[in-house]
Amino acid sequence: MTTLRIEGLSKLFGTFKALDDVSLEIPDGKFVCLLGPSGCGKTTLLRVIAGLETPSAGRVFVGGADQTLVPTHKRGMGMVFQSLALFPHLDVADNITYPLAIRGVDKATRRARAEELLDLVRLPGLGARRVHQLSGGQRQRVAIARGLSINPQVFLLDEPLSALDASLREHMQIELRQIQQSLGVTTVVVTHDQKEALTMADLVIVMKDGVIQQAGAPMEIYHNPANAFVAGFIGTTNLLPCEINAGAISVLGHSLAAADGDRIAVSRGPASLSVRPEHVLLGAPEEGLRAEVTFVRDLGESRHVLMRAGDQDITAHLPPGGALRVAPGDTVGVSFRPGERVVVQ
Ligand code: ATP
């Protein structure tokens, strides 16, 4: 039972509040992504969990035990830093088992553990190499193996894949997830990449300005964003100012009747309408909001149509091979698929 619980955590740097009353509970064995733009407090939260920063207020519990004042090396947490922080003067095996060496574990046990971990991260036989003899992806695996060497109760990673190129990164996201699942270790990863979070996480925690905006399963956050910030941050969406009145959505001078499945979290007044590009429908000009096509991008698997309606940009992603042919300069009628409209504050 290693549930990680955070209660009312705040962190001040001088007068600047990097974390503001953060509370959350992470069930045992879950893979959690802390997601948000640069400076939102993700790394600070991870460092407080690890014991590398002392909170200004609040507590950190693991399995019900208060860890807030427990020093880092006694928290049973494995860490992978963005910089990896591997030692050039040690071979791969000694890098991996360094956390065991500083805890006084004997050499034979360390060697055996290094072999096990090298197998786990799919680098069998590379224990004697030096770090500079490894590729970027291999170094990443060594850092992951080192973070796991102490058999941590909680595994913490700060932007672990950010230095990798896009294709290797996608591959490592899946591998990291598979390693985590095979061990069942409670894992918290910091990332600013929403696709990475959606790929790996059981639970995504979206942060902004030191405050949790929403915590939930990836698809819950994607389909039911708590506010306009979350809607805009997760996936691609069209965010349009609207007005809610008597259950109708008024947008760009048009009134749309709410339909079954629409998620309208605002009862009245100004709000934001979020519609994913795949739910934007195009027809003849009289069939919806009048918009002018500004750009068409054919990507093979879909066609992206960029439009301007009033002072708003709208993007539609259309399936390939659709009958409707549009070109820049055309006037079209835009509508939003009923049941796929989300209204948030
Ligand atoms: P990034 O994705 O850029 O790493 P982040 O979300 O991880 O961002 P943090 O590193 O947690 O953000 O920083 C949150 C805020 O706290 C930032 O405004 C940062 O400048 C500030 N901050 C972090 N550490 C310190 C420090 N030691 N002293 C002063 N301010 C700090």
The predicted structure's pLDDT at residue 89: 92
Residue with tokens 């996480």: 201
Cβ neighbours of 48 (radius 10 Å):
24
Query: Are the C-beta atoms of 69 and 136 separated by less than 8 Å?
Result: no
Q: Is the CB of 41 under 6 A from ligand 1?
A: yes
The C-alpha atoms of residue 336 and residue 288 are separated, in whole angstroms, by 9
The predicted structure's pLDDT at residue 2: 62
Mean pLDDT of 251-278: 92
Ligand 1 atom 31, closest CA: 13
Report for 17-21, 120-124, 252-256: range of highest mean pLDDT: 17-21
Phi, psi (rounded to 5 degrees) for 234: -100, 115
Q: How many A from CA of 41 to the centre of ligand 1? A: 6
Using only C-alpha atoms, what is the Rg of the chain? 24
Is residue 1 predicted with pLDDT exceeding 70? no
Tell me the C-alpha to C-alpha distance, in Å, between residue 21 and each of 32, 39, 90, 158, 213.
19, 16, 41, 21, 12
The C-alpha atoms of residue 76 and residue 183 are separated, in whole angstroms, by 15
**Domain coordinates of the chain in residue numbers?**
4-223, 238-344
Cβ neighbours of 128 (radius 10 Å):
10
Read off the pLDDT of residues 282-300 as tens digits, 9 standing for 90 and up: 999 998 999 999 999 988 8
- Homologous superfamily (CATH) of 4-223 is P-loop containing nucleotide triphosphate hydrolases (3.40.50.300)
State the fold for domain 238-344.
Answer: OB fold (Dihydrolipoamide Acetyltransferase, E2P) (2.40.50)
The predicted structure's pLDDT at residue 299: 87
pTM: 0.89
Q: How many angstroms from the chain centroid is the CA of residue 181?
A: 18
The C-alpha atoms of residue 35 and residue 341 are separated, in whole angstroms, by 24
Q: How many A from CA of 58 to the centre of ligand 1? A: 18
The C-alpha atoms of residue 18 and residue 11 are separated, in whole angstroms, by 6
Interhelix angle 136-148/107-120, nearest 10 degrees:
130
Question: What is the average pLDDT value for the chain, to the nearest integer?
Answer: 93
What is the value of ipTM here, to two decimals? 0.94
The predicted structure's pLDDT at residue 300: 84
Q: Is the CB of 37 under 6 A from ligand 1?
A: no
Phi, psi (rounded to 5 degrees) for 84: 70, -40
Q: At 82, is the pLDDT very low, low, confident or very high (cuts 50, 70, 90)? A: confident
Q: Is the CB of 40 under 6 A from ligand 1?
A: yes
Q: How many A from CA of 18 to the centre of ligand 1? A: 7
Phi, psi (rounded to 5 degrees) for 55: -70, 155
Those residues whose C-beta lies under 8 Å from the C-beta of residue 205, and which sit 6 or more positions away, are: 24, 32, 33, 34, 35, 212, 214, 215
Q: Is the CB of 18 under 6 A from ligand 1?
A: yes
Phi, psi (rounded to 5 degrees) for 98: -55, -45
The predicted structure's pLDDT at residue 37: 93
Q: How many Cα atoms are found within 13 Å in the side-chain-facing hemisphere of 193?
A: 16
Query: Are the C-beta atoms of 234 and 221 separated by less than 8 Å?
Result: yes
Read off the pLDDT of residues 54-69 as tens digits, 9 standing for 90 and up: 999 999 999 999 999 9
* pLDDT over 70 percentage in the chain: 99
The predicted structure's pLDDT at residue 165: 85
Q: Is the CB of 38 under 6 A from ligand 1?
A: yes
Q: How many angstroms from the chain centroid is the CA of residue 250?
A: 32
Residue 250: strand pairing partners: 243, 255
Reading across the β-sheet that carries 331-336, which strands appear in turn? 280-283, 331-336, 289-298, 303-309, 312-318
Pocket test for ligand 1, best of 19, 33, 38 (most atoms within 8 A of CB): 38
Q: Is the CB of 36 under 6 A from ligand 1?
A: yes
Is residue 323 predicted with pLDDT exceeding 80? no
Read off the pLDDT of residues 272-284 as tens digits, 9 standing for 90 and up: 999 999 999 999 9
